[in-house]
Amino acid sequence: MTVSTREFEGLQIPAAGTYELDAAHKRVGFVVKHLMVSKVRGQFAEASATIVVGENPLESSVTASIKTASVETGQVDRDNHLRTGDFFEAEKYPTMEFRSTGIKSHAGAEFVLDGELTIKGVTKAVELVVEFEGATTSPYGQHLFGFSAHTEIDREDWGLTYNMALETGGVMIGKKVKIEIEGEAILQA
């Protein structure tokens, strides 16, 4: 039987190999301010990721693709608006892409990844904070690990500049967007 975990600085981490994001156990979400007083939460229903866990865990890498048309906020009209040229322009830019460029630092189960995020053809550097949640073997014999990750971006850096000024001051939609990711990744044969 293949060993599914190994020790690394006091953590039981996954064995080296190529892992794929489990579509049934993932959430790619975001939070943005609305009307300067509340938060709107949403997610992308369709996303994929490949995580290559290196023999040296600090040389691991991630690539991810998110389908922009799969955006869901619980409001059909808002979702349709987010798919237009005012925001994601989903027909012209069907995916957002992330590619890690290295692990900047780590402390305990927290790893900080440097990477590049591409939205609407614009690529910018981002820092993704990843919390390793643990590794195990499922009842079906799959070797997997869990993680959560987050970052905050200024959406205008990627050309997502649509907004409306409010009569009371401020704007309808905040510029800062918190990105929140949770998931399980399964070792591929």
Instruction: Write down the pLDDT at residue 2.
Output: 59
- 62 with 113: CB under 8 angstroms? yes
Could you say which DSSP state residue 141 is in? S
Can you give the pLDDT at residue 3? 64
Residues in Cβ contact with 54 at an 8 Å cutoff, skipping those fewer than 6 apart? 16, 60, 61
For residue range 85-105, what is the model confidence (pLDDT) as tens digits? 999 999 999 999 999 999 999
pLDDT value for 166: 81
Q: Provide DSSP, 75-107.
A: -HHHHHHHTSTTTT-TTT--EEEEEEEEEEEEE
Give the tokens for residue 3: 């060993």
> How high is the pLDDT of residue 189?
77
Domain spans in the chain, listed from the N-terminal domain onward: 5-187
Q: What angle do CA 162, 166, 170 make, to 5 degrees?
A: 80
Rounded mean pLDDT for each run of 10 residues along the chain, 189 residues in total? 79 94 96 89 97 95 98 96 95 98 95 97 97 94 96 95 85 92 95
Buried b (16+ CB within 10 A) or exposed e, 5-42: beeeeebebbbebebebbeeebebbbbbbeeeeeebeb
The pLDDT of residue 170 is 82
pLDDT value at residue 70: 98
> What's the CATH fold of domain 5-187?
Lipocalin (2.40.128)
